[in-house]
Every structure is written in C-alpha cells, then in structure tokens.
C-alpha cells in the first residue's frame, strides 16, 4: 500500500535577473576602482549586464569586460579583468615614474614630489609628444598591453557579446565619435585613452582622435538610444565636488581635469533629467520617449584624497587599494539600491545639476 500523495512544498520562484547598462569613467590607473566594482557586480547573480559604454581607462575596462563575458561568462570576465590589471602593475614595476621605497615611505602613493614625476610633468609642459616621442609606433607600451589582452577581430564576430560603445574625441571637428563593438579595434581603444599631452593623436580612417573623456566620460546616449535595458549604472571615479580651493599647480591642474572630464557627463545628466520630468508630467509620449533609471557607484570621499599624479601610479599595492574601494562601493550599492533597479532611479541627480 502506498501512502497518499503529498503536495510538494511551495518554493518561491527565483527573482528575475536585473538587466543594467554600465557607464565607465576614465581616470588613468584610478580605473582599478572600476575593476573592483565590476568584479563585485559579476559575482552577483541577480545582475545581468546589457550594454557597456566607456571612455579612456573606462574604455579599456569595458572592452576587456565584454570580451571576458563573451569567452567565459562571469568567471571569464573576472579572470580577464584581473589579468589586465596584474599586467599593468607588472609593466610599471621598473618604471621611473613609481616612488622609490624611501619616497613611498614619505609621500605614500602620491608621485607629485618624486624627481621622475617632476621631470615628466616639466617635459610634457615644454614639449609635445610630436617632439619627445619620435618613434610612436615603436615606443607605445599601451598598444602592446592592449594587443596582449584584446582580440578585437574575435570580439567583433562574437554572436552573443554585449553591446559595447567606446568614445573618442575628433580633434578637427571637436565632436564625439562612438565606436561600437562592430567597429572595435586596438586603435579605437587607444584613441579613447589618448591624452594629447603625452601621446600623439590616433589616426583612424583619416581622422585624428584624442581622449574620449573630453566629450563623453562616458557617453550615456548610446545606451538608451539602442533601446536596451532602461537602467544605466555609472561607475564614477572623478570627483564632482571639492570643498577646498586648489592652490598648488598640481591641485589646480587636477581640478581642471575633473571639471573638464565631468562637464559632458553633467550635461547629459541634465538632459536626461529634463526628459524624465516631462514624461512624469505627461508632456511627452511613450514609447517614443521612455523612462530611464539612473544609478551611480562612487566613493568620492576617499577618491578625492588622491592627487593627479596617482592616476599614473601602477604600484600593485595601490591598485589593490583602489580595487578594494571599488568592491566596497559596489557592495553598498547592491545592499541599498539593488531593489530599485528596473523600478526607479537611485542616483541623486542634484549632484550633477
């Protein structure tokens, strides 16, 4: 005799994954903060990455992230990002730009007062890269780094890879150029990370390009124009606010860089906020216009403490500190705001207005 059938215990269905677009800022080796953020997001099964937009260091992180996801899913992306940043640190171990043990003991991770950084800073103010680098194709460590970690042809052909947008600045027209995954090349990523004080403009199809951060750090519009996920998560590494007045040449230059590299982002934020207000007031029609939910992962308090020179610091200990800050910031976001993804914005838009 068999017993009565017992109903299976009720099991709550797994929550639907939350699809987000990522917008990754540039900022030299401060991009290791973004590495930590991405690593923590990839560990969370609730989060599914849709499109990725990046500029400068954000473009490098974005391209390696998308390639890693296409090749090996979440684990592949985590491995690819880790390999990239370990390689960056290894290549800079013997760089004269790094503090000596004595300098590190005195100034920590700040390179401002090191003799090598002072010489480099003076040289880039007196000479252009067209004068001090007469063999740009031979002496280009960034190109060899990218060639080691990116297979652009394979990524262009990958059938299910994420949407990818790399921003650069057209030197002659002063307009932004967005390179999609279908247009991805080593030159496109180099163009996005081309600071004109230290590298020659990158020529692509007869046009010259500089760093994408000048006109889109990063560009947000490709993420919502392509009708992907409605949520955009900005990974911010450049400070918006500073209470103190910069007075030293280095601090003044740092603040000028922060303002110029945030200007286009702030303009886009204002435009998005304006459209969302019109939608809420019923003055625009859907689906031609749709709701966009904005989120941000940042740690302005700690990132403000780093000088301009630290964006050239590739010391492994320093990169690990930044990575840890990024992981902590992402964890805070997931705890406090993950439930708002797909429903409402969690970004305090007043910070950008």
Q: What is the pLDDT of residue 183?
A: 97
What is the pLDDT, as a whole number, of residue 192? 97
Stated pTM of the model: 0.90
Divide the 353 residues of the chain into consecutive groups of 10 and give the mean pLDDT of each group. 50 75 95 98 96 97 98 97 97 79 80 80 80 59 93 95 96 95 97 91 95 91 85 92 84 84 86 85 77 94 90 93 98 96 89 71
Tokens found for residue 220: 């947000």
Rounded to whole angstroms, the Cα distance separating 246 from 255 reads 7
pLDDT for the residue numbered 1: 45
Listed in order, strand segments (DSSP E) in 131-230 are 163-170, 176-180, 202-204, 207-211
Angle value at C-alpha 311, between 96 and 112, nearest 5 degrees: 60
The alpha carbons of the chain give a radius of gyration, in whole angstroms, of 22
Contacts of residue 280, Cβ cutoff 8 Å, sequence gap at least 6: none
First to last CA, the chain: 74
Tell which residue, 107, 44, 115, 104, has the closest CA to residue 74.
Answer: 44
Name the phi and psi angles at 126, rounded to 5: -95, -30
For residue 133, give the H/E element and its range: none
Q: What is the pLDDT of residue 138?
A: 45
């Amino acid at each position: 005799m068999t017993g009565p059938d017992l109903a299976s215990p009720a099991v709550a269905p797994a929550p639907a994954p939350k699809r987000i677009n990522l917008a990754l800022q540039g900022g030299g080796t401060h991009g290791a903060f973004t590495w930590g953020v991405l690593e923590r997001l990839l560990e969370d099964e609730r989060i599914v990455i849709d499109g990725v937009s990046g500029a400068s260091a954000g473009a490098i992180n974005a391209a390696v992230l998308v390639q890693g996801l296409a090749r090996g899913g979440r684990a592949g992306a985590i491995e690819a990002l880790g390999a990239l940043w370990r390689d960056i640190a290894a290549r800079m171990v013997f760089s004269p730009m790094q503090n000596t043990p004595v300098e590190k003991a005195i100034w920590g991770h700040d390179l401002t007062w090191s003799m090598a950084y002072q010489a480099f800073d003076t040289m880039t103010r007196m000479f252009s890269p067209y004068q001090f680098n007469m063999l740009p194709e031979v002496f280009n460590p960034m190109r060899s780094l990218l060639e080691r970690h990116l297979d652009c042809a394979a990524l262009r052909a990958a059938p299910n890879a994420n949407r990818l947008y790399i921003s650069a600045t057209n030197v002659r027209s002063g307009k932004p150029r967005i390179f999609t995954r279908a247009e991805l090349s080593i030159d496109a990523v180099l163009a996005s990370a081309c600071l004109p004080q230290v590298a020659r403009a990158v020529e692509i199809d007869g046009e010259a390009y500089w760093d994408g951060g000048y006109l889109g750090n990063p560009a947000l519009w490709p993420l919502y124009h392509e009708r992907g996920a409605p949520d955009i998560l900005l990974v911010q590494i450049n400070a918006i606010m500073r209470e103190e007045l910069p007075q030293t040449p280095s601090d003044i230059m740092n603040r000028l860089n922060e303002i110029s590299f945030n200007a286009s982002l702030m303009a886009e934020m204002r435009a998005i906020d304006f459209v969302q207000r019109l939608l809420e007031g019923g003055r625009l029609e859907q689906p031609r216009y749709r709701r966009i939910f904005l989120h941000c992962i940042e740690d302005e308090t700690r990132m403000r403490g780093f000088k301009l020179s630290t964006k050239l610091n590739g010391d492994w200990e320093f990169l690990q500190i930044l990575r840890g800050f990024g992981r902590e910031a992402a964890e805070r976001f997931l705890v406090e705001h993950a439930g708002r993804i797909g429903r409402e914005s969690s970004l305090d838009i007043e910070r950008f207005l």
